[in-house]
Chains A and B, each alone.
Chain A
Amino acid sequence: DVKVTQSSRYLVKRTGEKVFLECVQDMDHENMFWYRQDPGLGLRLIYFSYDVKMKEKGDIPEGYSVSREKKERFSLILESASTNQTSMYLCASSLNRGHYGYTFGSGTRLTVV
């Protein structure tokens, strides 16, 4: 089974800090995604990547950036954390374009104080 590992389950950061959320998948998937989940808003796409060094903005990219230097690792960066970025962050991967069987990580619950 594909495993998607998010480095932290819970994080507490201060407003203005630069925050790195790490995600690693172990099955050579091409596609990786970052979503955030908020009550009443569902899962919203922040950024995604179809290949190494490639990135595309999702629906809510403001305040975030990403890095994909290696195929298995996709990092989400909060340039200057704000309280409205307190959320559950979910990383996912899928085999290739057109393959919709996403595998999600367990999520990182980020609290910005």
Chain B
Amino acid sequence: DQQVKQNSPSLSVQEGRISILNCDYTNSMFDYFLWYKKYPAEGPTFLISISSIKDKNEDGRFTVFLNKSAKHLSLHIVPSQPGDSAVYFCAASGRTALIFGKGTTLSVSS
């Protein structure tokens, strides 16, 4: 059973607009959440994270929001740029290792 879900396989956004990527989880014991970005033929790179004791974390154009009661987190990218086009993975800290969602492919058009 999937513990970390990214229900939107893809998202298309125009340059300069906001991109919102969503992630849901089922395990209330997760204490840390991360977003990774992956370009084709490269390994994922860490983007931003949030502890379960917080509800928001911001780093430049990237903001992650956590709603614990809904078991939902989202990544906001403002403004979106063509270089942001990549696959974004949501991850949660499991008992032994990170558990990843299936990913959302973001396409930012100029």
Contacts and interface: CB of A to CB of B under 8 A. Distances in A.
B12 to A, nearest CB: 18
B86 to A, nearest CB: 13
Contacts of B6: 42
B93 interface: yes
The SS class assigned to the A binding surface is: strand
Given A42-B89, A43-B89, A56 B96 contact: yes
Interface in A66-113: 90, 92, 100-107, 109
Interface residues of B, number: 23
Given A33-B97, A42-B102, A43-B89, A106 B46 contact: no
Interface of A: 4, 9, 33, 35, 40-45, 48, 56, 58, 90, 92, 100-107, 109
30 contacts: A4-B43, A33-B97, A40-B102, A41-B102, A42-B6, A42-B89, A42-B100, A43-B44, A43-B100, A43-B103, A44-B100, A45-B97, A45-B98, A48-B96, A58-B96, A90-B43, A90-B44, A100-B34, A100-B91, A100-B98, A101-B49, A102-B36, A102-B46, A102-B98, A104-B43, A104-B44, A106-B41, A106-B42, A107-B41, A107-B42
